[in-house]
Amino acid sequence: MSDEIAICVRGLVTRFGEQTVHNGLDLDVRRGEILGVVGPSGTGKSVLLREIVELDEPTEGEITFPYFTESNLEPRRGVMFQDGALFSNLTILENVEAPLREHTHLSPNLRAEIAALKLSMAGLDPSAHHKRPAQISGGMRKRAAVARAIALDPELLFLDEPTAGLDPISAANFDEMTRDLARSLGLTVFLVTHDLDTLHAICDRVAVLYDGRVAAIGTIPEIEAKAEGWVKEYFSGPRGRAATRGAAER
Amino acid sequence: MAAEAAFDFREDDRAPVLALRGDWTVDTIASLEAELSALAQRLKPGAVVDVGELGRFDVAGAYLVDRTLRGGAAGEETRIAIRGQHINALRLLQAARKAAAPPAPPPERLKGVVGLLDGVGRAVGAMGEEILQTVGFFGQTLTVLARLITSPRRIRWVSIVHTMEVAGLNALPIVLLLSFFIGMVVAYLGARILGDFGATVFTVELVAFSMLREFGAVITAVILAGRTNSAFTAEIGAMKMRQEIDAMRVMGIDPMDALVAPRVIAMVIMTPILTFGAMMSGMFGGLLVCWAELDISPVMFFARISEVVPAQHFWVGFVKAPAFALALAVIGCKQGLDVGGDVGSLGKHVTTSVVQAIFMVILMDALFALWFLEMDL
């Protein structure tokens, strides 16, 4: 992790009709860190993610990528959506090849090999290569979705609820995979989650969204030290305590 | 901007050195593949990768370098050795080595004549299966309807009326408009051909016979096959995909009661009404053409119809409507319930639904025609 800022959000306001989701939200994501974003349902975590990847437009405010602008690079983004959003009429291997086919001039062989490498990095067995998304389990679909997200070697990886709906063992394996990928590829990860174990296991820092703003940001001990209100309830409720204990045992 | 990827290969006194220059990323490596494959052939064990002048490096680039190393004399056992400083080269090379896995070979398919025969055989088998299943579903629908007649409290009126509006009433404008045009076309045809025999007055019979006996019912059914069948299949299919049908089942709600029966009943009620509208609208189109082209006044048109067109022709056409409606609704619902888990299956079943429905309408119409002919109606 470095002090360079990969994603910079300033004064973000998002309104849907009468309802204000973000109200002057500021957030910095450092380059190379895994940032966990938490908050009660409906506080616009997924909306924030969608705005950073330019799927939605904020009502006000701006989102910039200072590190990439300074070094004259394109901030390449890979996104894993909640249910994977794999193309259901393509096989798993073809799904990962799709962005490569669209954006590079690699030969078909090399393209398939790189796709297979990415699938293997995401922890997916070659036996799944020629299956369709409907034929594999939810956990495997999520892995395939991550493989597709990193197909073009993005610097920024966005994960929306990656461990939701996975059994605890798969979730732990998935966390490990995310951490390994982030470390070995030097990714900056923006991770929206409700999973306290994920936060403890892999996030360098955590940002808590509450009431349209970032209510707290920092490492978990830092946040817990000065937590109040919802944040306190979140980290020191029964589940929060259990996750802390779990992390301590590890 | 990305610097072009390039490499030098030299054998210095200690070991062969592969020196990388420029950016080696997924965008830049495409042109190097062939050269590196050739290089791998002559790579001796103990090769070193010089990353001193390497720019940006990513997994795709690392994979290609590692593949070259593994393609050399020492094969999979080649050690990854680098020379020079780079921010992430060693890490990425190791990651690529650790995860390297060739793509699985595609599943085998039968080729050539055998493959063709295999495909045809499966298609014929599937078709037989499909016919059997549809007939079975038809029977199931009839028993559900019979059960509903004996216990009318289980009939879902709200659902029926809603479907009557969406699938029936809302289709009225298009049905009326299209049969109006068909009526005009038939009248023009009559005026032209019968005119050659000086028998233009028979145009009235032509329009009345064709609209009442055939076109009214068939046009309505074909429009409904395109408009309503696809909607039924898509609605029920989407519910199936999102597990709503499973949710109904575990709640003890029979989808046959809740989804199929209301649609069938609504269609059986609305199709005759639409058919009647289509008949009248077609005859009106014919009337306008007769008036404009043949100087047959509306009064004369009606007088002639009541004189020479017995009411049985109306009934011959009209009784077909509920039969068509039953076939359409059953096919639409059946295909919807057959949808599997993915989007492709939804598209396939919607297509099948419309094709089967139109096919059945024409087939049934032919059978009706034969039967009425034999009955002298």
Report DSSP letters for B181-194, one per residue.
HHHHHHHHHHHHHH
Is A126 within 8 Å of B101 when comparing Cβ atoms?
A: yes
The domains located in chain B, with CATH, are 6-99 (3.30.750.24), 126-374 (no CATH)
A169-181 residue pLDDT tens: 888 888 888 888 8
Closest CA to A37 of A17, A68, A12: A12
A232-250 residue pLDDT tens: 888 777 777 777 777 777 6
Mean confidence (pLDDT) of chain B: 89
Closest CA to B164 of B156, B152, B176, B174: B156
pLDDT, average across residues B70-84: 76
Query: Are the beta carbons of A77 and A51 closer than 8 angstroms?
Result: no
A62-114 residue pLDDT tens: 898 988 888 777 778 889 988 888 888 889 999 999 888 888 888 888 899 99
Chain A interface test: which of B23, B24, B57, B58 (most A C-beta within 10 Å): B58
pLDDT the model gives residue A241? 75
Residues of A engaging B, defined by a Cβ cutoff of 8 Å: 72, 88-89, 93, 100, 103-107, 110, 112-121, 126-127, 129-130, 132-134, 150, 152-153, 184-186
Query: What band does B71 get if pLDDT is binned at 50, 70 and 90?
Result: confident
Query: Are the beta carbons of B274 and B224 closer than 8 angstroms?
Result: yes
Q: What is the dihedral of CA A235, A240, A243, A247, to 10 degrees?
A: 20
B238-286 residue pLDDT tens: 999 888 998 888 888 889 999 999 999 999 999 999 999 999 999 999 9
Radius of gyration of chain B (CA): 36
* Structure-model confidence comparison of residues A21 and B321, the more confident one: B321
Give the containing element (helix H, strand E) for B35. helix B33-41
Closest CA to B157 of B232, B236, B227, B257: B257
Give this complex's ipTM: 0.77
**Terminal-residue alpha carbon distance, chain B:** 83
Pairing type for strands B48-57 and B16-24 reads: parallel
Nearest CB neighbour to A104, from listed B26, B92, B340 = B26
**Any CB–CB contact under 8 A between B94 and chain A?**
yes
Query: Are the beta carbons of A122 and A147 closer than 8 angstroms?
Result: yes
B171-222 residue pLDDT tens: 999 999 999 999 999 999 999 999 888 888 899 999 999 999 999 999 999 9
pLDDT the model gives residue A138? 84
pLDDT the model gives residue B79? 78
Is B25 within 8 Å of A153 when comparing Cβ atoms?
A: yes
Is B99 within 8 Å of A134 when comparing Cβ atoms?
A: no
* Residue environment code for B73-105, b if the CB has 16+ CB neighbours within 10 A, otherwise e: eeeeebebebeeebebbbbbbebbbebbbebbe
Give the containing element (helix H, strand E) for B143. helix B112-150
pLDDT the model gives residue B74? 66
Is B63 within 8 Å of A153 when comparing Cβ atoms?
A: no
B223-240 residue pLDDT tens: 999 999 999 999 999 999
**Any CB–CB contact under 8 A between B91 and chain A?**
yes
Q: Flag whether pLDDT at A6 surpasses 70.
A: yes
- In chain B, which residues have their Cβ closer than 8 Å to the Cβ of A86? none
Is B26 within 8 Å of A117 when comparing Cβ atoms?
A: no
Is B107 within 8 Å of A88 when comparing Cβ atoms?
A: no
**Terminal-residue alpha carbon distance, chain A:** 22
pLDDT the model gives residue B213? 93
**Any CB–CB contact under 8 A between B30 and chain A?**
yes
Single-letter amino acid, residue A236: S
Highest mean pLDDT among A56-60, A175-179, B105-109, B313-317: B313-317
- Quote the percentage of chain B above a pLDDT of 90: 56
Query: Are the beta carbons of A24 and A213 closer than 8 angstroms?
Result: yes
Is A184 within 8 Å of B91 when comparing Cβ atoms?
A: yes
pLDDT the model gives residue A198? 86
Structure tokens belonging to residue B71: 């393609």
pLDDT the model gives residue B98? 82
Chain A interface test: which of B26, B56, B240, B343 (most A C-beta within 10 Å): B26
Is B100 within 8 Å of A117 when comparing Cβ atoms?
A: yes
Distance in angstroms (rounded) separating the CA atoms of residues B115 and B350: 27
Query: What band does B372 get if pLDDT is binned at 50, 70 and 90?
Result: very high
Nearest residue on chain A to B29, alpha-carbon basis: A106
Q: Rounded to 5 degrees, what are φ and ψ at A203? A: -85, 135
Q: Flag whether pLDDT at B2 surpasses 80.
A: no
Q: Flag whether pLDDT at B374 surpasses 90.
A: yes
Angle between the N-to-C axes of helices A138-149 and A108-121, in degrees from 0 to 180, rounded to the nearest 10 = 120
Distance in angstroms (rounded) separating the CA atoms of residues A102 and B70: 28
Distance in angstroms (rounded) separating the CA atoms of residues B156 and B153: 8
- In chain B, which residues have their Cβ closer than 8 Å to the Cβ of A118? 59
pLDDT the model gives residue A187? 87
Give the containing element (helix H, strand E) for B53. strand B48-57
Distance in angstroms (rounded) separating the CA atoms of residues A119 and B293: 73
Separation in Å, CA B202 to CA B193, B196, B290: 10, 12, 10
Separation in Å, CA B252 to CA B246, B255, B257: 10, 9, 11
**Any CB–CB contact under 8 A between B102 and chain A?**
yes
CA distance to partner chain A, nearest, from residue B301 (Å): 58
Closest CA to B171 of B31, B267, B53: B267
Is B341 within 8 Å of A134 when comparing Cβ atoms?
A: yes
Q: Flag whether pLDDT at A159 surpasses 80.
A: yes
Number of Cβ within a 10 Å radius of residue A134: 16
pLDDT the model gives residue B298? 93
- In chain B, which residues have their Cβ closer than 8 Å to the Cβ of A103? 26-27
